Amino acid sequence: MPISERIAIFDLDGTLIDAVPDIVSAINHVMDDYKLPPVSLAEAASLMGDGLRQFALRVFQRRGLTAGEDDIATFIEHYSRHPVIRTKLYPDVADTLNALADAGWRLIVCSNKKEALADRILDQLGIRSYFAVVCGGDTVVAHKPDPSHLAEALSRANGKADQAVMIGDYQADIWPARILGIPSIFASWGYGRQEMGDQATRIAERFKDLPALLDEVRPAVAASAEP
């Protein structure tokens, strides 16, 4: 008997990829212009979540300044030109995505990054083909943590909430899933503080733990046989 389709929705930064090294390079390009202290990898990781714009605002705020629109644009432009220099997949991502696809999961990405940029990053890292849909923050009316972003990503995959599970490392992933009645798995290897996973349905310690956790949260259901 065929297995009913299940949908796994992935955040991008901090869940599928560690993008901090290239984001740090881009923001430090701006810091250099202002003769400000550079941003370390650890500091950048602590400021991630809610998209590149919010990241830049937080960096400047840490230094007692307010980021101007030109500063934010320069940072994002520099990052967009060099998004996959040192960015890497987290361990076991490709093999796990392959296993999930083989098990009948439909995979999609819901990211606050611009959609074309997210597409390009996934392609350069060799995993774009696993995803039926990539829904970026610039092609929706409002992006995460607004639940409508997640709802739109699911809609583009012709999916429903009762088929889906959200996987992410930040409250902007867990909270909207909860609002929509979608179970979630907190990616504890990412940038979010561990307490952000308190509202998740499950907590994953490693990416390769996801198939078993997804099966627990959204078990396979055999479709009814045709008469």
Out of 11, 22, 71, 169, the active site residue is: 11
Residue 22 in contact with residue 86, Cβ under 8 Å? Answer: yes
Residue 154 in contact with residue 174, Cβ under 8 Å? Answer: no
Q: Cα separation of 139 and 152, whole Å?
A: 10
Q: Cα separation of 96 and 102, whole Å?
A: 10
Phi, psi of 16, rounded to the nearest 5 degrees? -90, -40
Q: How far apart are the first and last CA of the chain?
A: 13
Contacts with 177 (C-beta within 8 Å, 6 or more apart), sequence order? 9, 150, 166, 168, 183, 184
Q: Active-site residue 11, yes or no?
A: yes
Residues annotated catalytic, as ranges:
11
